[in-house]
Structure 1
Amino acid sequence: MANTYTQIHLHLVFAVKHRAAVIAPDWKYDLYGYMTGIIQNHSHKVLAINGMPDHVHILIGMRPTQSVSDLMQQLKQESSGWINDNRRTSHRFAWQEGYGAFSYSKSQLPAVIRYIDAQEEHHRTRSFIDEYSRMLDTLGIDYDERYVFKPLA
């Protein structure tokens, strides 16, 4: 779009359905590469991607040519299809409903990238639900605990 200038940085967070810890170390980087391709195919830029066996964090530079909800729908649909087509899990894989999308200024990006890169380290002492609730609280986002990513059953 001519004469359209934006600087949109989003931190995306989403979880495996029922928070099942099924994203295995031997294929997680293949998944991250596939997800990066999906995002780049929509003209967005991946700045950081990492996660744990039950969830993923992605920091992107987003173009205004697509809504966040459309990107997330395609990202989740196409990546779960890739996981299932490649039989990466012993059962049908699905992402949990919903996601977090948080905006950051350019000056905040180094800290967000460090945070995403250090997932394994800080999850030694903090659960995903604690991490996510703390993120919502820190950003001042009102939420209903019934609709936050469900804990493991």
Structure 2
Amino acid sequence: MANTFTQIHIHVVFATKFRNAQINAQWESRLYDYIISIFSHYNHKVLAIGGMPDHIHILFGQRPDQSLSELIQKVKASSSKWINETGLTSSKFSWQEGFGAFSYTKSDLPKVVEYILNQKNHHQKRPFLEEYKKILSDQGIEFDSKYIFKDQI
């Protein structure tokens, strides 16, 4: 798109189905590399990626020629297919429906990167749902707790 100039930074969060702890530390970095390659394939740039066994955080620079929902759907579908085809889990892997997405200015990026890269430390102090609700509140997003990532059927 000629003459189009953007600076769009998105922090996206999504969870494994029912928040099952399926992302194993032994292959977590391979998953992150695979997800980064998906973003790169669609010409978006991952700035940070991190998470826990039951969820993932990604900060990326988004190009304006693809919708956020379409991109995340492709990332989730492709990565879950890859996990299942490579046999990384003993049970079927899938991501939970939905995601959280939050925009940040360039000056906020260092603290968001630090937050994402230090997920394991953050969750020693605060559980995922509590922290996720805090992000929603800090962003001024109204939500109903019954629609937050489910942890069971």
TM-score bracket for this pair, using the shorter chain length = over 0.9
Where does 1:1-150 land on structure 2 (aligned, <5 Å)?
A: 1-150=1-150
Letter in 1 for 2:107: S
Identity %: 54
Q: TM-score, normalised by structure 2?
A: 0.98
Contact 2:13 2:55 in 1 (8 A): yes
- Deviation readout 1:34-62 (Å, 9 max, x if unpaired): 00000000000000000000000000000
Give the TM-score normalised by the residue count of structure 1. Answer: 0.98
User: Partners in 2 of 1:150 and 1:130 — Cα distance?
Assistant: 13
Q: Give deviations 1:5-36, integer Å, cap 9, x for gaps.
A: 00000000000000000100000000000000
Q: Secondary structure at the match of 1:124?
A: helix
Q: How many residues align?
A: 153
3-state SS, counterpart of residue 111 of structure 1:
helix
Contact 1:129–1:151, Cα closer than 8 Å, also in 2 = no
Q: Once the two structures are superposed, what CA deviation does each residue of 1:40-91 show, in whole Å capped at 9, x if it has no partner?
A: 0000000000000000000000000100000011000000000000111111
Displacement of 1:151 after TM fit?
3.1
Gaps of 5+ in 1: none
The alignment partner of 1:123 has SS state of helix
Cα distance between partner residues in 2 of 1:151 and 1:54:
10
* Equivalent residue letter for 2:76: K
**Deviation per residue, 1:84-115 (Å, 9 max, x gap):** 00111111100000000100000000000000
* Contact kept in structure 1, 2:20 and 2:151, CA below 8 Å: no
**Moved >6 Å (runs of 4+):** none
Distance of 1:2 and 1:94 partners within structure 2: 38
Secondary structure in 1 aligned to 2:29? Answer: helix
Unpaired segments of 5 or more residues in structure 2? none
How far the C-alpha of 1:152 sits from its partner, in A, is: 5.2
Alpha-carbon RMSD across the aligned residues, in angstroms, is 0.9
* One-letter amino acid matched to 1:114: E
CA distance in 2, matches of 1:81, 1:46: 20
